[in-house]
A = this chain, B = another copy of it.
Amino acid sequence: MAESKLEDQLANQARISGDGAPSDEDDDIVDPWNVAGKADTGIDYDKLIKRFGCERISPELIARLEKVTGQTAHPLLRRGMFFSHRDLLHIITRKEQNKPFYLYTGRGPSSRAMHVGHMVPFMFTKWLQDAFDVPLVIQLTDDEKFLWKNISIEESMMLARENAKDIISVGFDMEKTFIFSDFSYIGQCPQFYQNIALVSRSVTFNQARGCFGFGDSDCIGKIHFPSIQAAPCLATSFPHIFKNRKDIPCLIPCAIDQDPYFRMTRDVAPRLGYLKPALMHSTFFPALQGAQSKMSASDENSAIFVTDTAAQIKKKINKFAFSGGKASVEEHREFGGNCDIDVSYQYLRFFCPDDDKLEEIRQNYTSGKMLTGELKAILIAELQKMVADLQLRRAKITEQEVDEFMRPRPLKFNY
């Protein structure tokens, strides 16, 4: 599948500028449906930045963001998990000038169970929402999952609603957050469909093939879908929030595999009289078995799910988390572990809030002072706490609250 898509991409000549298709066979495959790195350490992000034509988030940019928000940067930003961007400076400048913008992120509700990796962009988005104090729209692409997977509309909509609860449990402020599912919201807001049509008129099949690798046997729903993920970048898709203002751009925190959608949108938006969306890209969250294997909702041992019990978390980490340690204690003590490929350490980079503690762990594991079991124990405790907190908050979410998050309504901003 990935290969034939790749051929399609290479065969195609008419492309949206900087379409990011792999140019040689050593390149990692990164698109919204396929992520496959060639190296043990996973994706080569420097190469990807170059190929996609985006930019690394520099220490200077982080400093400027900290200054304008008055907040210390989130660990995910400080540690380079959010590592790449497009036009972030433009958004920071707007904040400095007190000009409006909004946050836009989303999720394809492909399964009931979200894993902790799925929560990463939402945890970061929550921090951005607090730091910037701007409206946030969250798209649940239940139509995408219906089009790509063999599931019914009803199931896809049910998954969207269940996922909405997981997302809400991250702690979003209802007064600043609108969560919507495509299957519901397209049928509630004529302006949204109108913006979808504006985008779909502006992208040819050739361009969509270049960006996404669509083939002739793909259904016309898939070929059209990029317009639906693009439209929320146009503020007029949310008249209840932004009235009819076209001059409010968005910042999109997302994993970098979603970049093709917004590369396309950035090409289209100015032609429609809108500002280009800005982006902050995250790295991929590794599977328990390591950066090269794939997390899968159908393989419950490939990830820690937000529904896992403390015992399940402990068992999974101890049993499945790929270790960068040596074969024996003696060898480990002598030569030390490899944090670059150790999944437990990688997970702690995502979830351990304490920079000093993380650095101490890194040094001790690398030197061999800390054994794999000890490292895993630290991660287990961290994840058990985080997941328990999420579960506690999720249990308190009522159906009425979900309804309210998903109801088109004004947010706490004046536009």
Q: Please name all residues of chain B whose beta carbon is closer than 8 Å to the beta carbon of A208 when the two chains form the complex.
A: 220
A210 to chain B, nearest CB (A): 10
Q: Find out whether the CB atom of B204 lies under 8 angstroms from the CB atom of A224.
A: no
- Interface flags, A195-227, vs B, CB<8A=1, else 0: 001111111111011000011111111011011
Contact yes or no, A146 B220, CB < 8 A: no
Q: Which of B143, B147, B193, B227 contacts A220 (CB 8 A)?
A: B227
Copies of this chain assembled into the complex: 2
Q: How far is the CA of A203 from the CA of B222 in the complex (A)?
A: 10
Find A184's partner among B190, B199, B201 (CB 8 Å cutoff).
B190
Contact of A204 among B205, B219, B227 (CB under 8 A): B219
A187 at the interface (CB under 8 A from B): yes
Q: What does the 1/0 interface line of A139-173 toward B look like (CB < 8 Å)?
A: 00001001100000100000000000000000000
* A:28-86 near B, CB below 8 Å: none
Q: Which residues of B contact A17 (CB under 8 A)?
A: none
Q: In the complex, how many angstroms separate the beta carbon of A406 from the nearest chain B beta carbon? A: 12
Give every chain B residue within 8 A of A198 (Cβ-Cβ). Answer: 153
Q: Are A190 and B188 in contact (CB under 8 A)?
A: yes
- A189 CB within 8 Å of chain B: yes
Enumerate chain B residues within 8 angstroms of A204, measured Cβ to Cβ: 216-220
What residue in chain B is nearest A144 (Cβ atoms)? Answer: B197
Bound Cα distance A146, B205 (Å): 17
Contacts of A200 in B (CB 8 A): 147, 219-221, 224
Q: Classify chain A's interface size.
A: 35 or more
Question: Residue A186 at the B interface, CB < 8 A?
Answer: yes
A205 with B227: CB separation less than 8 A: no
> Is residue A194 contacting chain B, with contact meaning CB distance below 8 A?
yes
Is A183 positioned at the interface, with any CB of B under 8 Å from its CB?
Answer: yes
**Complex alpha-carbon distance, A201 and B206, angstroms:** 20
| Docked-complex contact B202 and A219, CB < 8 angstroms | yes
Confirm or deny: A191 has a beta carbon within 8 angstroms of a beta carbon on chain B. yes
Neighbouring B residues of A182 by C-beta, 8 Å: 193
- State whether the Cβ of A192 lies closer than 8 Å to any Cβ in chain B: yes
Which B residues touch A214, using CB under 8 A?
A: 205
- The chain A residues found within 8 Å of chain B, CB to CB, are 14, 143, 146-147, 153, 182-184, 186-194, 197-206, 208-209, 214-221, 223-224, 226-227
A-B contact pairs, 11 of them (CB 8 A): A14-B217, A146-B197, A147-B197, A186-B187, A187-B187, A187-B194, A203-B220, A206-B216, A206-B217, A208-B220, A221-B227
5 closest A-B pairs by CB: A187-B190, A200-B221, A224-B224, A186-B193, A206-B216
Extra inter-chain contacts (5) besides given A200-B224, A220-B224, CB under 8 Å: A14-B216, A197-B221, A204-B219, A205-B219, A209-B216
